[in-house]
Structure 1
């Protein structure tokens, strides 16, 4: 190392503001003298205000100018000057930060502490050189961008080679990939099944939550194993090399496939394993889609052959429809079987309940006719008879009252009510009218003592006597009828009272009987409902109530739907460039991290 480089290094390592080099002089400087060895020097406090800091630096520079030290002149290049300026700026910034931090701490302490004591003037204290911060302790980034750029520039050839190699490998891989064709078919699966009974074919409304659940369930049915296995059997996919795993890829893809076969353990292949492999490959080539607000499902199949893709999509749609109908038919058959098994037990329960009601009715003499008890019928009939008899008694009594005031004159004059007139009274009234007319005619021709006139008048009086006798006979007959009616009314009242008493005595039995009859009726209603439902489900087994329609059949696609080869090549170029960057970073790891 030359003397010039040694002096340069020593000047860099020495801080610019070395306050420990300041020595007090005999001249008055406006500051208190430095403490002696016997006195403890208080810690140096940096100036608080900007004016104090300016005065401090001015005094320090003045002392330094009065006591200059011999300086060795040396030439400094631009890099050294820039480095010194950088270090001066860092030291000033650090000093300013510490001063501000001390001011903030002092303000916080003064806010909570008692009134401060008179401030003492700062005293310079020498610090050993070992306590001074080293210039290299300043913060530096982990990776210097300039070094990273230099490393990348130095590895341009490696990056170019890795990028080209990645693009070539990607191009070869893209050329080895087969062309894939996608065919799709759209079907509408309405969760509202067709109704075989009722006025409407489909329900008018459908709950939102229920519709979403049904839609998701039907989407799972489309690519379920039960559907795909039937598709495999119909299309004989176990013999298709694309699905049974015997198709060997070409190019780089074939190389990767061979490496995979070598690394993977060899397993014995049987019919079950072959079917599972075909099912797995078919499931990977199928995509089921549905819009969020519709029940239209899109079934897409991706294979290497456009005709095969369209055929598989249509076959899956057909098998799904038949599977959905089969599921509904199985559900109807299972329901019908369950109902049939329950019908025998329910029939026995109905017979048992009806037998219990009949036995209780017979044992307690509670026989009924047309669904009503005989006692109830008798009570109703007697009540009606008693009502009619009371009306008849009142009618007869009214007739007797009228006849009691009736005389022969009321009969002759016609004031007697018509319903009280008998045939005899009518004839006697006619005879009286004839005799009265004869007597009136003779009275105008003969004298009052003429025998013919007297005979005619006597005949009219005889007719009036006969009328009075007939009225007495009718009155007596009505009295007999009234007595008979009153007696019948009393008999009916007595019989009705007896039936009511008997009904009251049988009230507990009637309650028990009605309970047994209600139980029998309830069991009979349930049995009839189950029987009707069983007949309906039996008829629905052969009906396809699934509301499924094919909107568009799959057609062979004209263009492949594989990944663009250009994108693969671009991805390979990017991957090659990134690989080159990784290799460069590994090779220059220590240099990048400044190790």
Structure 2
């Protein structure tokens, strides 16, 4: 029979991929087969790899790189001051130096890695040696050697790790190889190569700087010689002769000036002496009054005689009187002595006058000589200015030359001194345990990767074929409310199930108004999607049992034509008029309700589900029961009961959270809408609801 056309409701989506955080675990549990299979596959692969992979061993050597160089000499070529960042940049730069080609090639040459098959050398064998000879003939021996070094360098870089921990200047050099002794040997070779490279770099820098300074010394020496030649030529041209570091003209001027001062001092002394002599001539002969400058032995003797005569004259005047002849003789002698003294003083005075004249003549001569020297000094001073400039130029050139010469020799000596403050604090020893493969780590990684990828595949699978996850998702897909949520147990005596059943029954009866003038019972079709048939039957029993317990008359009608409850008499026979209702129904001992089976499905059923037959059947049972529960089965495949669904008062949909597919649920709703009855609500079975 043809179904009535009803437009599909666009109010709800065909697929809802939104999921809450709490629903993720439900997805994982539902798709646990994919997760477990993927995890087992990855763990098995990790186990096989850890058992079959070739073992590797890691050896470590530690170097202490102090950014402050050793201060061997006071003027070191390399700066020993620490950088503002504490020297971290210097140490990080040295890490890159350890990884450089120059250091690694030294280590390769020392350990002979070019001939090691692990580092790219060809394996020993007849075929390999033949191919190697052919390559040598085609490319040349040097090209082959270079290629082998390059390949060994690339292999070594892959097996090398240079690390530095934070806040320390210790660098760890780690090499991984298939043999523990080889790994330790390579690490120690790299450490030695680094130390040798640093010493050679510093020595080369010192030699280069010393060579540059020596090249500059030749030019500086030429400049000094040229400056000294210009100075000597200028002195010779201007008569600037020096003695004891001073010009002769300057020395002469100084000496002449000193002699002139001395001559003037002598003139002053001579004039003073002359004045004293002129002042005492004709005065009384008193030895105490004579100046020391005019004292002489003759005058001293005459003074003594004069004093003796004066003494005798005094004694005789007392004894003989002033008129005694001896007194006249004594007075005559005294006059002669005084005359002799005056004569001697005159002679001394004349000598003093001559001495003054000589001193004045000498002064005049020295003054004239000094004036002449001053005139010459004025002429020499002009040349002296240029002379000082030339001397300063010579001194500056000489000073620079001496500085460069000393620095050149210091740097040349520093080339033989290693000032780098770097040392190996731990030499590598052959490791006892392998570093790879780490079975525990690999298995853990395989487990985590398997779980992660498995969960991802489960999510992808869920997205491709999503299941119903939550109550809100069910309401969005159906466009109808969830009337009740039941635990998976679905027991008739479960208080949780009874409580939810009461809520569902009350909601079904809300706003239900039978046709005026009739006492028709509430007819509810209970439908389900594929996979929910068992829960559908259990929920019908719970609803019927709960309604019977409340005193309702309940009839359970089996309308699932695809079910297994086909019998000799039932709904089909009643609808065709082949059997009365009371003869077909039986009592359900479990729920206390009345039960009507589907009947014999071997006969054609199209005519039985005519609209008139269905409505007549519902009117007939409507006055005898309070609630009619019709088992619609899987509605998408049970479309022949469309008239039953269209004539019913309510359509309930049974769904399971985490199991019912969204596509099946939307198909059920689409089919129900086409049958003329949209879903009134849903009964949801959720394993997150626990029975009490």
TM-score above 0.5, yes or no: yes
Query: 1:323-382: per-residue Cα shift (whole Å, max 9, x none)?
Result: 322222222222222222222221111111111111122212222223322222222222
Aligned counterparts of 2:247 and 2:276: Cα–Cα separation in 1: 44
Judging by fraction of residues, say which structure has more strand.
Answer: 2
Residue 519 of structure 1 and its aligned partner are, at CA, apart by: 1.0
Any gaps of 5 or more consecutive residues in structure 1?
14-133, 249-266
Which of 90, 94, 98 does residue 222 from structure 1 map onto? 98
Paired position in structure 1 for 2:278: 404
Aligned counterparts of 2:406 and 2:284: Cα–Cα separation in 1: 76
Paired position in structure 1 for 2:150: 276
Paired residue secondary structure (1:573): helix
Aligned counterparts of 1:289 and 1:576: Cα–Cα separation in 2: 32
Aligned counterparts of 2:23 and 2:173: Cα–Cα separation in 1: 57
Paired position in structure 2 for 1:186: 63
The answer to whether structure 1 residue 366 and structure 2 residue 240 are counterparts is yes
The answer to whether structure 1 residue 459 and structure 2 residue 336 are counterparts is no
Which of 38, 43, 50 does residue 174 from structure 1 map onto? 50
Query: 1:12-37: per-residue Cα shift (whole Å, max 9, x none)?
Result: 85xxxxxxxxxxxxxxxxxxxxxxxx
Paired position in structure 1 for 2:162: 288
Judged with a 3 Å threshold, the aligned counterparts in structure 2 of structure 1 residues 179 and 226 are, in CA distance, closer, same or farther, namely: closer
Instruction: Describe how 1:227-376 pairs up with structure 2 within 5 A.
Output: 227-244=103-120, 270-290=144-164, 293-376=167-250
Which of 438, 459, 482 does residue 356 from structure 2 map onto? 482
Paired residue secondary structure (1:412): coil
Aligned counterparts of 2:453 and 2:284: Cα–Cα separation in 1: 144
Aligned counterparts of 2:300 and 2:144: Cα–Cα separation in 1: 123
Which of 46, 68, 72 does residue 195 from structure 1 map onto? 72
Judged with a 3 Å threshold, the aligned counterparts in structure 2 of structure 1 residues 153 and 298 are, in CA distance, closer, same or farther, namely: closer
Which of 401, 418, 428 does residue 527 from structure 1 map onto? 401
Q: Conserved in 2, the CA contact under 8 Å of 1:408 and 1:467?
A: no
Q: Conserved in 1, the CA contact under 8 Å of 2:277 and 2:349?
A: yes
Aligned counterparts of 1:296 and 1:247: Cα–Cα separation in 2: 38
Aligned counterparts of 1:411 and 1:286: Cα–Cα separation in 2: 124
Judged with a 3 Å threshold, the aligned counterparts in structure 2 of structure 1 residues 570 and 318 are, in CA distance, closer, same or farther, namely: closer
Deviates more, 1:239-248 or 1:425-434: 239-248
Normalising by structure 2, report the TM-score.
0.57
Deviates more, 1:421-430 or 1:339-348: 421-430
Deviates more, 1:527-536 or 1:429-438: 429-438
Paired position in structure 2 for 1:565: 439
Q: Conserved in 2, the CA contact under 8 Å of 1:439 and 1:456?
A: yes
Aligned counterparts of 1:584 and 1:217: Cα–Cα separation in 2: 49
Aligned counterparts of 2:90 and 2:272: Cα–Cα separation in 1: 82
Paired residue secondary structure (1:270): helix
Aligned counterparts of 2:449 and 2:283: Cα–Cα separation in 1: 144
Aligned counterparts of 2:342 and 2:240: Cα–Cα separation in 1: 57
Q: Conserved in 1, the CA contact under 8 Å of 2:114 and 2:120?
A: yes
Aligned counterparts of 2:88 and 2:410: Cα–Cα separation in 1: 28
Count of residue pairs brought into register by the alignment: 451
Paired position in structure 1 for 2:37: 161
Pair member with larger Rg: 2
Q: Conserved in 1, the CA contact under 8 Å of 2:57 and 2:431?
A: no
Judging by fraction of residues, say which structure has more helix.
Answer: 1
Deviates more, 1:341-350 or 1:320-329: 320-329
Residue 211 of structure 1 and its aligned partner are, at CA, apart by: 4.1
Residue 411 of structure 1 and its aligned partner are, at CA, apart by: 6.1
Paired residue secondary structure (1:413): coil
Paired residue secondary structure (1:187): strand
Paired position in structure 1 for 2:415: 541
Query: 1:446-484: per-residue Cα shift (whole Å, max 9, x none)?
Result: 554555544343333322222223333333333333333
Aligned counterparts of 1:530 and 1:511: Cα–Cα separation in 2: 29
Q: Conserved in 2, the CA contact under 8 Å of 1:300 and 1:313?
A: yes
Judged with a 3 Å threshold, the aligned counterparts in structure 2 of structure 1 residues 168 and 499 are, in CA distance, closer, same or farther, namely: same
Judged with a 3 Å threshold, the aligned counterparts in structure 2 of structure 1 residues 588 and 535 are, in CA distance, closer, same or farther, namely: closer
Aligned counterparts of 1:463 and 1:298: Cα–Cα separation in 2: 122
Paired residue secondary structure (1:426): helix
Residue 442 of structure 1 and its aligned partner are, at CA, apart by: 5.0
Residue 433 of structure 1 and its aligned partner are, at CA, apart by: 3.1
Judged with a 3 Å threshold, the aligned counterparts in structure 2 of structure 1 residues 143 and 303 are, in CA distance, closer, same or farther, namely: same
Q: Conserved in 1, the CA contact under 8 Å of 2:114 and 2:121?
A: no
Paired residue secondary structure (1:135): coil
Q: Conserved in 1, the CA contact under 8 Å of 2:58 and 2:431?
A: yes
Paired position in structure 2 for 1:45: none
Q: Conserved in 1, the CA contact under 8 Å of 2:60 and 2:428?
A: yes
Paired residue secondary structure (2:175): strand
Aligned counterparts of 2:170 and 2:28: Cα–Cα separation in 1: 56
Q: Which has the higher contact order (CA 8 A, sep 6+)?
A: 1
Query: 1:554-593: per-residue Cα shift (whole Å, max 9, x none)?
Result: 3344444446322222222333344445556666765459
Any gaps of 5 or more consecutive residues in structure 2?
125-137, 467-661, 667-692
Normalising by structure 1, report the TM-score.
0.65
Aligned counterparts of 1:451 and 1:510: Cα–Cα separation in 2: 86
Paired residue secondary structure (2:280): coil
The answer to whether structure 1 residue 430 and structure 2 residue 307 are counterparts is no
Paired residue secondary structure (2:63): strand
Aligned counterparts of 1:190 and 1:432: Cα–Cα separation in 2: 105
